[in-house]
Chain A
Amino acid sequence: MYINKNLSVHVKDRLDYCDDLVIRTFPELKIEVLYFGHLVGEEELKNNILQPFSNTNEEEVKIILRRKQYQQEEDINLMVKGVLEGKALIIYQNSLAYVVDIYVPKTRSVTPAEIETVIVGSKEAFIEDIGTNLSMIRRRVKSDCLKVLSYNIGTITQTKMYLLYIEGITSPILVKGLQEKIKNIDIKGVNDLNQVIQYLDKKPLSVFPQYFTTERPDVSASKLFEGRVLCLMDGSPYSLSTPTNFFEFFQSPDDYNQRWLLGTLSRLLRFAALFITLFASAFYVAVSMFHYEIIPVKLLHEYIQSRSKVPFNPVIEALIIECIIELLREAGARLPSKIGQTIGIVGGIVIGTAAVEAGFTSSVLIIVVSISAISSFVVPHIIMTASLRITRFFFIILSSIFGFFGIIVGFTIIMIHLCRLKNLGEYYLKPISPIFLMDIKDTIVRAPYQFFKK
């Protein structure tokens, strides 16, 4: 919409009932400046607005406005958009408009990663400001091949989103694929990247996360080198990378920063943890209900003794304890970290011991469930941990109906599902299914870097 008369009234009309709008006038210069005080930096305001237009005359104003930072704007929609984005709008003689970028986001400073912690390696994590996040990536990838495409998402929120890739490494098909997916999202507004992911999911009903998110800039940069597309969103301290595979969720920067043997062993430990967390409780239920012949004779006596006081069926018993663990975890997540620790002690030790003494559960089950809960936290990515926890219940129920056969049936369903899952044309279980032997050196194990050269 192009208007050149009475510009001030039109703009103010659009920003009606916005009491936080600051209007400064320089009557002698016929200048009006509009901006949102909380979006702009004081220094920038002083340098670009207050100083140049004080102590000057009408002749000089024209020269000042020819400076590079003052961009003339003719479309009223863009003027309003500019003000909303933290720019100052200068209306001259009520007919000409200029915008000047004086946006300074008011966010927290960069802090250490809280969820994806590492022992050795960089500590910093993304914050809510997209510019800072992008700077963290640019600082790590000083290459002109790093390309950044900008989008706005949400019809009302107009949230800024960047799509990053390295030209020459990332397949253009992937970039195009994700671009189209992002453009097809039709929503009024989003608050976080993790919401956007759910709009991008190809199979929304799947339990497993189909996009990899991380709060770590070093991990994000490494994803770029691996030929993936990266997404950043304003207001979200996370980055998204795709195509994703299942094994990414079991990798931690520690694997790369420590020596290869340690890296490999910790990865294998995590896969062992995956199996323990999925099957431990289900195995207990199956053994107690169907296959007690596998318990060694020496252990059988103790086992029967601990089970004899319990009035419930093993599956009910297991479900109760699993639910208690879930309650503790949820409570721990919601509470401040200092009280969270107390919850752990109260829940783990007090309730656990009391439950066994009261004859509520068997002590063997407490051990099994605790090991399975601990194992679930060995998985470095919290989204995958959540998926595994849900899947665990599925296995417990199946094993209570069909014993080991139920576990195998559940496992088969999950495997077929994972083999079918695709992410931007790439298989989710790659490099195991379809098999790419060369890629195994950095999925199941972490081979020495000298082996990576090929």
Chain B
Amino acid sequence: MQTEKFKPFYLFFITYMTQTGIVLFMLPNMIANYFGYNGWLMIIPISVFAMIQIGLIAGIYYFNKGSSIFQTIETSFSKVNIIAKPLYLCLSIFWSVLSITVAKQYVHVMKFLYFPQTNIQWFVLLTLILTYYLVTSGIVTIAHVSTLFFFLSAPMIFLLIYFVPDFSFLQFSTFVFNEHNDFYGGMIELYTAFLGFEVTLFLFPYIKKEKKVFKYVFLGHLYTTLLYLSVTIFCYGFNSFQQLNYQVYPVINLLQYIEFDFIERLDSVFFILFYLKLLITITMYIWISLVTFKRVVKWSVQRSAFVLLVVGYLVTLPFVTKNELTSLLSLLAKVQILISIFLPLLVLTIIFLKRRRKHV
């Protein structure tokens, strides 16, 4: 891997770009379904919970003094490798499958909306090629590319201004969480929208050492929260609650409403522009999968990345329809939640045990 390091402020872009994905387009519908009236309020506590998780990761960075978590795990006990190596392999394959599933879900929506006659596999293959190209360029290039893509895709948020004239506070109503179903299930689903911050756990050795490194991860997370909040609030203010409950992709519906004199129906342009953001999400998961994989197998980066992408592709090959993909992604995301909670805890425990041993 490259020994080159990047400045901590790139963490802002990486965190934000990894967190947001296709879920943004369905978020208001998901929130309306699970939490009912004024469900957008739930974004705040869930975001705070994710923030606590980031705090844990920041703690690890602080205690670890910026060295890789793999080193921390591998030097904890004498025979840890017997457990660690198979675990690494499983995690690595899991992340590769997760990222390809994320890609497939986006591609499926795109095909469903704009390319009804094209086979989904073509889009997946193109995405794999791009991911391979980006992931083999090294983390510094990924950081640079994510910055560039951030600036290209971030101005889309200004489109919300278009809806200001039609925005009505009356739509919010005075009820809070009425007509909700499966509150706890909804919280888990909503938490998956914030997943992505955990990739920073693997970035430690690649960050230039400066003060307040994790400030940028927090800022990235806050930006994601702000985006989710503003989009959901606008959806709640623009649509009635009943409409929101029926629209599968309310944000796309919102985009379809935009119309100028010289151009009509810009949603396809914006939705496809969103691919830039998605590519970073996929690449980051493939990248952590690659880093983990390389701890076990001493292949070249190119070969490892190729193998991981092929494995991910083959595993997800049977999943084609929307329902299959949604249920697979929901399952994988739940596993990822567990990883995002327990991996930092595990590493922290190891660090404390090590410190204790030192003091003894």
Q: Which residues of A contact B (CB under 8 A)?
A: 290-291, 293-297, 299, 402-405, 408-409, 412-413, 415-416, 419-420, 427, 429, 432-435
Q: Which residues of A contact B268 (CB under 8 A)?
A: 291, 293-294, 403-404
Mark contacts of B115-144 with chain A using CB atoms, 8 A cut-off: 1 yes-contact digit, 0 otherwise.
Answer: 100100011001000100110010001001
Query: Nearest-CB distance from A398 to chain B (Å)?
Result: 9
Q: Are B130 and A419 in contact (CB under 8 A)?
A: no
In the bound assembly, the distance between CA atoms of A402 and B145 in angstroms comes to 23
State which of B118, B141, B147 has its C-beta within 8 Å of the C-beta of A420.
Answer: B141
Q: Which residues of B contact A408 (CB under 8 A)?
A: 272-273, 275-276
Q: Which residues of B contact A (CB under 8 A)?
A: 6-7, 110, 114-115, 118, 122-123, 126, 130, 133-134, 137, 141, 144-145, 147-149, 151, 261-266, 268-269, 272-273, 275-276, 279
Of chain A, the residue at the smallest CB distance from B146 is A433
Q: Are B264 and A435 in contact (CB under 8 A)?
A: no
Query: Nearest-CB distance from B175 to chain A (Å)?
Result: 37
Q: Are B264 and A297 in contact (CB under 8 A)?
A: yes
A294-B268, A295-B264, A412-B130 known; A405+B275 contact, CB < 8 A: yes
In the bound assembly, the distance between CA atoms of A413 and B6 in angstroms comes to 22
In the bound assembly, the distance between CA atoms of A427 and B276 in angstroms comes to 21
In the bound assembly, the distance between CA atoms of A299 and B264 in angstroms comes to 10
Q: Which residues of B contact A413 (CB under 8 A)?
A: 130, 133
Q: Which residues of B contact A404 (CB under 8 A)?
A: 114, 268-269, 272
Q: Are A405 and B123 in contact (CB under 8 A)?
A: yes
Q: Which residues of A contact B144 (CB under 8 A)?
A: 419, 427, 429, 433-434
Q: What are 27 A-B residue pairs whose CB atoms fall within 8 Å in the complex?
A: A290-B114, A290-B115, A293-B265, A293-B268, A294-B265, A294-B269, A296-B264, A297-B264, A402-B115, A402-B118, A402-B122, A402-B126, A403-B115, A403-B268, A404-B114, A404-B272, A405-B123, A408-B273, A412-B276, A416-B134, A416-B145, A419-B137, A419-B148, A429-B144, A433-B145, A434-B6, A434-B147
Of chain B, the residue at the smallest CB distance from A295 is B264
In the bound assembly, the distance between CA atoms of A381 and B360 in angstroms comes to 69
Of chain A, the residue at the smallest CB distance from B126 is A409
A402-B126, A408-B275, A432-B148 known; A419+B266 contact, CB < 8 A: no
Q: Are B266 and A294 in contact (CB under 8 A)?
A: yes
Q: Which residues of B contact A416 (CB under 8 A)?
A: 130, 133-134, 137, 141, 145
Query: Nearest-CB distance from A445 to chain B (Å)?
Result: 15
Q: Which residues of B contact A290 (CB under 8 A)?
A: 114-115
Q: Which residues of A contact B265 (CB under 8 A)?
A: 293-294
Of chain A, the residue at the smallest CB distance from B143 is A434
A293-B264, A404-B268 known; A435+B110 contact, CB < 8 A: no
Which 4 A-B pairs give the minimum distances between C-beta atoms? A433-B144, A404-B272, A293-B265, A433-B148
Query: Nearest-CB distance from B268 to chain A (Å)?
Result: 5
In the bound assembly, the distance between CA atoms of A413 and B137 in angstroms comes to 12
Q: Which residues of B contact A415 (CB under 8 A)?
A: 145, 148-149
In the bound assembly, the distance between CA atoms of A420 and B139 in angstroms comes to 11
In the bound assembly, the distance between CA atoms of A405 and B123 in angstroms comes to 9
Query: Nearest-CB distance from A203 to chain B (Å)?
Result: 13
Q: Which residues of B contact A295 (CB under 8 A)?
A: 263-264
Q: Are B137 and A420 in contact (CB under 8 A)?
A: yes
In the bound assembly, the distance between CA atoms of A416 and B279 in angstroms comes to 12
State which of B147, B149, B264, B276 has its C-beta within 8 Å of the C-beta of A294.
Answer: B264
Of chain A, the residue at the smallest CB distance from B270 is A404
Q: Are A419 and B145 in contact (CB under 8 A)?
A: yes
In the bound assembly, the distance between CA atoms of A299 and B263 in angstroms comes to 9
Consensus secondary structure, chain A interface? helix
A413-B133, A415-B145, A427-B144 known; A405+B264 contact, CB < 8 A: no
Query: Nearest-CB distance from B272 to chain A (Å)?
Result: 4
In the bound assembly, the distance between CA atoms of A429 and B6 in angstroms comes to 15
Q: Which residues of B contact A293 (CB under 8 A)?
A: 264-265, 268
Q: 8 additional contacts, CB 8 Å, given A294-B264, A419-B144, A419-B145?
A: A290-B114, A402-B118, A404-B269, A405-B115, A412-B276, A413-B133, A427-B144, A434-B6
Q: Are A405 and B269 in contact (CB under 8 A)?
A: no
Q: Which residues of B contact A409 (CB under 8 A)?
A: 126, 130
Q: Are B279 and A412 in contact (CB under 8 A)?
A: yes
In the bound assembly, the distance between CA atoms of A88 and B287 in angstroms comes to 67
Q: Which residues of A contact B279 (CB under 8 A)?
A: 412
Of chain B, the residue at the smallest CB distance from A409 is B126
Q: Are A403 and B264 in contact (CB under 8 A)?
A: no
Query: Nearest-CB distance from B287 to chain A (Å)?
Result: 14
Q: Are A294 and B110 in contact (CB under 8 A)?
A: no
Q: Which residues of B contact A433 (CB under 8 A)?
A: 144-145, 147-148
Query: Nearest-CB distance from B314 to chain A (Å)?
Result: 22
Query: Nearest-CB distance from B203 to chain A (Å)?
Result: 16
Of chain A, the residue at the smallest CB distance from B275 is A408
Q: Are B269 and A435 in contact (CB under 8 A)?
A: no
Q: Are A435 and B262 in contact (CB under 8 A)?
A: no
Query: Nearest-CB distance from A229 to chain B (Å)?
Result: 23
Of chain A, the residue at the smallest CB distance from B140 is A434
Of chain B, the residue at the smallest CB distance from A427 is B144
Q: Are B130 and A429 in contact (CB under 8 A)?
A: no
A419-B137, A419-B148 known; A403+B114 contact, CB < 8 A: yes
Q: Which residues of B contact A402 (CB under 8 A)?
A: 115, 118, 122-123, 126
Of chain A, the residue at the smallest CB distance from B260 is A296
Query: Nearest-CB distance from A179 to chain B (Å)?
Result: 24
Q: Which residues of B contact A299 (CB under 8 A)?
A: 262
In the bound assembly, the distance between CA atoms of A427 and B141 in angstroms comes to 10
In the bound assembly, the distance between CA atoms of A408 and B261 in angstroms comes to 24
Query: Nearest-CB distance from B105 to chain A (Å)?
Result: 15
Of chain A, the residue at the smallest CB distance from B13 is A435
Of chain B, the residue at the smallest CB distance from A294 is B265
Q: Are B148 and A294 in contact (CB under 8 A)?
A: no
Query: Nearest-CB distance from A159 to chain B (Å)?
Result: 37
In the bound assembly, the distance between CA atoms of A434 and B148 in angstroms comes to 9
In the bound assembly, the distance between CA atoms of A405 and B122 in angstroms comes to 11
Q: Which residues of B contact A405 (CB under 8 A)?
A: 110, 114-115, 123, 126, 272, 275
Q: Are A296 and B262 in contact (CB under 8 A)?
A: yes
Query: Nearest-CB distance from A184 to chain B (Å)?
Result: 24
Q: Which residues of A contact B114 (CB under 8 A)?
A: 290-291, 403-405
Query: Nearest-CB distance from A113 to chain B (Å)?
Result: 33
Q: Which residues of A contact B272 (CB under 8 A)?
A: 404-405, 408
Query: Nearest-CB distance from A329 to chain B (Å)?
Result: 29
In the bound assembly, the distance between CA atoms of A291 and B265 in angstroms comes to 9
Q: Which residues of A contact B134 (CB under 8 A)?
A: 412, 416
Q: Are B147 and A435 in contact (CB under 8 A)?
A: yes
Residue with the greatest number of chain B CB neighbours at <10 A, chosen from A296, A405, A408 = A405
Query: Nearest-CB distance from A205 to chain B (Å)?
Result: 14
Of chain B, the residue at the smallest CB distance from A435 is B147
In the bound assembly, the distance between CA atoms of A412 and B118 in angstroms comes to 21
Query: Nearest-CB distance from A15 to chain B (Å)?
Result: 54
In the bound assembly, the distance between CA atoms of A433 and B137 in angstroms comes to 14
Q: Which residues of A contact B122 (CB under 8 A)?
A: 402
Of chain A, the residue at the smallest CB distance from B107 is A405
Query: Nearest-CB distance from A303 to chain B (Å)?
Result: 12
